[in-house]
Amino acid sequence: MVSPKVEDYLKTIYDLQDDTRVAPSAVATAMGVEPPTVTAMLQRLHTDGFVDYEPYQGVRLTTSGEQRALKAVRHHRLLELFLTEQFGYDWSDVHDEAAVLEHYVSTKLEARIATVLEYPTVDPHGAPIPTADLTVEHNPRRQPVPECNAGDIVVVSEVRDSSPAVLDYLTRAGVTFGTRVEVTEIAPIGMITLEVSNTGERFSLPAEPAPNIFVSQCNEHSNSEPGQFSEAR
């Protein structure tokens, strides 16, 4: 039985890793713990076969560790959607709740939740939900807002910033997963102004959260209505 703390570490490493090893300092920052604590846990995870850890080189998940991480990610994202769909939670409130509950979801409960939600592909923030066999399907047409050009009409397809302040700001602007917006201005200092297509409401994105907001269908008009928790096409 893997402990909740181990699952949290594996999930954090999964979120941080790309083609290179993850620095222990990055894990410490993401989890809000001291570096020596991270080093001790990485050594333990290495011994248990969940990570490949080399001092001064960083860490990456083994196949076993990645499977454990994906299981936790699947539970987390299913729970976020379940809480919003069935209990009326706002998308800014579900992250912390799901982070607690994800460790106690049985295989049977996981299957029931997926059935009730009609086998969704993304969570309330647009993040892909790993399938039951723990594969992840990414939308290759997604790109961060700063890569768009003024005049682009796009659909918000994922918000990777879980900060309630950022999500509440987007909500007040009328933006959520699937909202169609137009990029109206890109300031030299990095501030990006967008307009919500169905309301005409304009809002500005500072440089810090903008790279964590992903959109689809840049440089083209979308004739489709945004689907509720299905990939924007």
SS3 category, 144: strand
How remote is the C-alpha of 179 from its chain's centroid?
Answer: 17
In order of 8, 40, 162, 176, 218, the CA distances from 169 in angstroms are 27, 38, 12, 10, 23
pLDDT by residue (tens digit) across 163-175? 999 999 999 999 9
Question: What does residue 179 show for φ and ψ, rounded to 5 degrees?
Answer: -70, 135
Listed range (61-65, 98-102, 103-107, 221-225) with the worst mean pLDDT: 221-225
* pLDDT score of 114: 98
Mean pLDDT calculated for residue range 28-50: 97
pLDDT digits (tens, 9 = 90+) for 192-209: 999 999 999 999 998 889
Q: Tokens 């007040």 identify what position?
A: 172
Structural domains of the chain ordered from first start:
4-61 (1.10.10.10), 143-216 (2.30.30.90)
Distances (CA, A) of 13 to 34, 64, 199, 209: 16, 13, 39, 21
Three-state SS for 71-138 is: HHHHHHHHHHHHHHHHHCCCCCCHHHHHHHHHHHCCHHHHHHHHHHCCCCCECCCCCECCCCCCCCCC
User: Please, what is the average pLDDT of the chain?
Assistant: 91
pTM summary value: 0.89
Judge whether 193 and 201 are in contact, CB under 8 Å.
no
